[in-house]
DNA sequence: TGAATAGTGTCTTTCAGACAATATGCC
DNA sequence: GGCATATTGTCTGAAAGACACTATTCA
């Protein structure tokens, strides 16, 4: 069974041993133009020079994982106050050709119009991509995005996290579109509204949204901004 | 918004910067005597000398996260071929009083009688504890167990992972007990069996289990050992 | 025959899914 | 009036939940 039993259970301090580097990677998602979209950055140096990547960076020695994710999120978007959740730790020893790096991935969901991507020359170029059209990425980042897609699909079906992708006030059609885009299937309008009503998550406002030459739509908000899990 | 924009998106090699240590921690769970149980180890040195902890150890530089988890699992149980899944990365900078250590937690589910805990003196004392009766643990390990409990509860309800906790052949009463112990609620026998039948996951064997002075019970196996997700 | 656990079916309620017509505002 | 989107209810089938009695073995 076991060849050389070494007592690692004690977490002994081993100053001589080589440590992996730890990075935090943040997948920034939104929905826009009937597409589930993600922010990618263009690399300016080797390895994978000129290829696209998910934004991330080395963790600082006194910074929590979530703080690191918030820092990276803020560098890219200027905001911090959005849905952010740890996704998974990716640790294949060969995932970075330079050295051993473990990536702890987070994902954020935000309303598309809440941010403008920095184009200030300090950061490398960053851009929204429809998730279905992301090119070949640096490192294992295509894998990470695939993993995140599944998480978002399931999370949106059993929680109220869809609100993270919408502005404060929204119409039922906008909300339905979020579900349709992420789940990649069209939903029946009457059944969708019946379900939303039964979940009792929304407050209908007195305002209406007037847009185009057609009947204005009722505006709604979520009753709570907390993450609510149902089912 | 942002004070000093530093370009961390490029993952630059920063040989001078201090790295956190990375450990992998493995929560080994089973069900026995109507209790959800976990393997804990007694610490033999500071910090937290003589307190109990979840087994774990520093990751090796060329070892994947899962390989590290398998190594630790094998050190404790002698086996590798069980359900094992990454749980979460715990990274509070203060979670270890000695130095910055990030713990990547895995959890394993196995049949109680499949292993004997090593008592060979090479490893520190390790012992099964009912999850409801774990004492105050070293580091943030009580938190980690709480997190894992929730994961196991949800995972057992929408996958066939319960089989990981049972021997190859089992009775429906044994299977129901697994659910009852983990979900901490009693289930209706007829509804439980109806549901299991409709999921079509089980094969009934020709054998019966004779135990005690009462009617023998039909034995079953799972049709597939793959993890199946339903709902 | 008594003790202990195995095994089984019906009724009710709830939820998901299919499906189409009217309402409102703007041009 | 025509166009574009908003809004609304019924029927059906499937699944969940409540509920109690008979079957089998052994001491």
- For residue A229, the 8-state DSSP code is B
Which pLDDT score is estimated for A119?
72
Number of residue pairs across A and B with CB atoms under 8 Å? 157
Q: Which residue positions in chain A have pLDDT lower than 50?
A: 1-14
Q: How far apart are CA A55 and CA A126, in angstroms?
A: 9
Which pLDDT score is estimated for A124?
80
**Chain B residue at shortest CA distance from A101:** B61
Q: Which residue positions in chain B have pLDDT lower than 50?
A: 1-14
Whether nucleic acid strand C comes within 7 Å of the CB of A190, the answer is yes
CB contact at 8 A, B103 and B24:
yes
Whether nucleic acid strand D comes within 7 Å of the CB of A173, the answer is yes
Q: Which residue gives the smallest C-alpha to C1' distance to C18?
A: A188
Which pLDDT score is estimated for A15?
54
User: Hey, are the CB atoms on B86 and A86 less than 8 Å from each other?
Assistant: no
Which pLDDT score is estimated for A11?
44
Whether nucleic acid strand C comes within 7 Å of the CB of A119, the answer is no
With a CB cutoff of 8 Å and minimum separation 6, the contacts of B12 are A45, A58
Check CB contact of B46 with chain A, cutoff 8 Å.
no
**Chain B residue at shortest CA distance from A89:** B89
Positions of chain C reached by protein Cβ under 7 A:
2-10, 15-20, 23-27
DSSP-assigned beta bridge partners for residue A17: none
User: Hey, are the CB atoms on A61 and B100 less than 8 Å from each other?
Assistant: yes
Q: How far apart are CA B203 and CA B223, in angstroms?
A: 6
For B72, counting Cβ atoms within 10 Å of its Cβ (0-12 exposed, 13-18 middle, 19+ buried), the class is: buried
Phi, psi of A131 (to 5 degrees): -60, -35
Report which of residues 212-231 in chain B place their beta carbon less than 7 angstroms from any atom of strand C. 212-218
Residue A142 tokens, joined: 């295509």
Which pLDDT score is estimated for A122?
62
Which pLDDT score is estimated for B64?
98
Residue B144 tokens, joined: 């980690």
Q: How far apart are CA B43 and CA A9, in angstroms?
A: 8
Check CB contact of B98 with chain A, cutoff 8 Å.
yes
Check CB contact of A104 with chain B, cutoff 8 Å.
yes
User: Hey, are the CB atoms on B78 and A1 less than 8 Å from each other?
Assistant: yes
- For residue B137, the 8-state DSSP code is B
With a CB cutoff of 8 Å and minimum separation 6, the contacts of B20 are A19, A22, A59, A61, B91, B99, B100, B101, B102
């Amino acid at each position: 069974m076991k060849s050389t039993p070494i007592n690692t259970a004690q977490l002994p301090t081993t100053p001589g041993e080589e440590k992996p580097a730890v990075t935090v990677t943040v997948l920034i998602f939104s929905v826009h133009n009937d597409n589930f979209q993600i922010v990618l950055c263009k690399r300016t140096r080797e390895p994978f020079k000129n290829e696209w990547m998910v934004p991330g960076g080395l963790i600082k020695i006194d910074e929590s994982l979530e703080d690191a994710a918030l820092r990276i999120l803020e560098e890219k978007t200027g905001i911090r106050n959005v849905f952010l959740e740890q996704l998974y730790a990716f640790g294949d020893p060969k995932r970075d050709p330079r050295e051993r790096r473990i990536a702890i991935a987070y994902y954020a969901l935000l309303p598309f119009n809440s941010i403008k991507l920095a184009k200030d020359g300090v950061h490398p170029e960053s851009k929204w991509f429809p998730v279905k059209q992301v090119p070949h990425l640096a490192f294992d980042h295509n894998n990470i995005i695939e993993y995140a897609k599944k998480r978002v699909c399931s999370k949106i079906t059993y929680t109220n996290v869809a609100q993270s992708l919408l502005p404060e006030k929204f119409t039922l059609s906008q909300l339905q579109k979020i579900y349709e885009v992420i789940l990649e299937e069209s939903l029946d309008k009457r059944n969708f509204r019946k379900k939303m009503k039964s979940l009792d998550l929304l407050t209908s406002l007195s305002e209406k949204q007037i847009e185009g030459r057609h009947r204005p739509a009722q505006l709604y908000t979520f009753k709570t901004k907390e993450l609510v899990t149902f089912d």
